[in-house]
Amino acid sequence: MRNAAAGDSLTLRAGDYVFRKGDAGDLAYVIVSGRIEILVENGDGEQRLAMLGPQDYFGELALISEAPRTASARALEGCELSVLSREYLERSLRQADPLHRHLLRMITRRMQSTIAGAATPEDDLDISGFRDARLAHERLRLLTRVRAGMSDGSLQLHLQPIVRLADAEQVGFEGLMRYHSPQQGDISPGQFIPAAEDSGLVLELGRWAAVETCRLLAELQQRRPGLFVNLNVSPSQFHDVALLQTIQSSLAEYQLDPQLLHVEITESMVMADLDSSLAFLNACRSLGIQIMLDDFGTGYSAMSYLHRIPVDGIKLDRSFISSAQDSAAARTVVAGVVRLAHELNLTTVAEGIETREQGLWCREIGIDLAQGYYYGEPRPLVGT
Ligand code: C2E
Ligand code: CA
Ligand code: CA
């Protein structure tokens, strides 16, 4: 049994021992069928401490401790057991969120200190304590501050210009979140959106961004009517009914033309869950909102899907555009995609334009709009 992996099973006959007191082991067991008795030794031999049945776990201390078994486990009847190994648990933990690892570490330590003789602290799982604790605390602190940032002003939507290539006229913006840390300056959403995604905070951030986008749109209309703003939406927000209500009520509150609000979703998100994406996208469409497919050229990029999902345009990813700089074949692909998109009546936007040459080439092959540091970095509205 020493080599058993997670998912292995073990069949026993009545009277068979799973393990005996004093055995070494790094496996825990879940009873699938049958009954197991846990036996401890006293002066007169073995005495039953517990009787376990289907779905009960036993031997789990072996997952966190290398100490020998302190009791025996024996089948009372024919049994089937599922096996969990310490190696399996450690492997999963290595890939887990550092916060989860840290919490589990604290729990196992506490457990070890309450179970006398179960283990010494050195024996516990190798879950790289200090690094995890630091990462976990940093992540928690960032999430706490970002959450507070929604009301104290340290979270902002910066706006990056989007221009029409034909005449270099600015036609809109993409809203990009920034958390302003007093110590580290502006922190990009790449650093907190994934963590927020795991913690559920992403839903609150998404609603906040929707309200903020509408507020900025209204302010922009005072200065230059007709400018649009793109709002980024993450996959987990597709199921958030409150998001659609928030968007709808903010559009009404600021008396905005819904056509000026564009929602950006990534292609991989749509493909991963076509049904719920379609429900969300159709609901947006029925409000009059336009849909842009973001990061096009990084995922499946299945052109054959494009006519099946309700989108108004595609944003060609920076890497897709920059590959065209060094390869004639890539240029042909990009130009082909643009042609096809236009045949499907989709607007095309080039992302990540950093040089004049890139912009000129995009205009040459007929891309409609462009965005990138060459035209302007994301900035708060005050400075735009
Ligand atoms: P994205 O939607 O693909 O946004 C474009 C990213 O490219 C932005 O990074 C932008 O600052 C950066 N960028 C723009 N022009 C250039 C350029 O010329 N060169 C280069 N190298 N980069 C350029 P940022 O602001 O760090 O945002 C990262 C990602 O975070 C976004 O990728 C988006 O997926 C997500 N995000 C941003 N704001 C929001 C939001 O309000 N809600 C949600 N759900 N996600 C957001
Ligand atoms: Ca985007
Ligand atoms: Ca993008």
Tens-digit pLDDT profile for residues 157-184? 999 999 999 999 999 999 999 999 988 8
CA distances from 273 to 239, 268, 284 (A): 11, 9, 17
Neighbours of 261 (CB within 10 A): 23
For ligand 1, whether the C-beta of 234 sits within 6 Å is yes
Its pTM stands at 0.74
Instruction: Dump strand ranges (E) for 184-341.
Output: 185-187, 228-232, 261-266, 290-296, 313-316
List residues, by chain if needed, whose CB lies under 5 Å from ion ligand 3: 294-295
The average confidence (pLDDT) of the chain is 88
pLDDT of residue 2: 42
Angle at 90 between CA 28 and CA 6, to 5 degrees: 45
* Dihedral in degrees, nearest 10, Cα atoms 342, 221, 208, 155: 100
For ligand 1, whether the C-beta of 193 sits within 6 Å is yes
**What is the token pair recorded at 220?**
């922009």
β partners of residue 180: 186
Smallest CA separation from ligand 1 atom 15, residue? 372
Cβ contacts of 183 within 8 Å, gap of 6 or more: none
- Atom from ligand 1 closest to the CA of residue 188: 26
Distance 253 CA to ligand 2 centre (A): 25
The rounded percent of the chain whose pLDDT value lies above 70 is: 91
Strand-pair category, 261-266 with 290-296: parallel
Ligand 1 pocket test: which of 150, 156, 176 has the largest number of ligand atoms within 8 Å of its C-beta? 176
Indicate if the pLDDT at residue 195 is higher than 90: no
pLDDT of residue 138: 80
Instruction: Dump strand ranges (E) for the chain.
Output: 9-12, 17-19, 27-33, 36-42, 45-52, 57-58, 72-75, 79-85, 155-164, 169-181, 185-187, 228-232, 261-266, 290-296, 313-316, 347-350, 369-371
Confidence of residue 117 (pLDDT cuts 50, 70, 90): low
Distance 44 CA to ligand 3 centre (A): 73
pLDDT of residue 1: 42
Neighbours of 308 (CB within 10 A): 11
pLDDT of residue 210: 98
pLDDT of residue 130: 61
For ligand 1, whether the C-beta of 213 sits within 6 Å is no
Distance 315 CA to ligand 3 centre (A): 7
For ligand 1, whether the C-beta of 319 sits within 6 Å is no
Q: Are 362 and 350 in contact (CB under 8 A)?
A: yes
Mean pLDDT of 15-24: 94
Distance 333 CA to ligand 3 centre (A): 19
Smallest CA separation from ligand 1 atom 8, residue? 176
Nearest to 166 by CA among 317, 347, 315, 312: 347
Q: State the Cα–Cα distance between residues 45 and 41, nearest whole angstrom.
A: 5
Nearest ligand (C-alpha, residue 209): 1
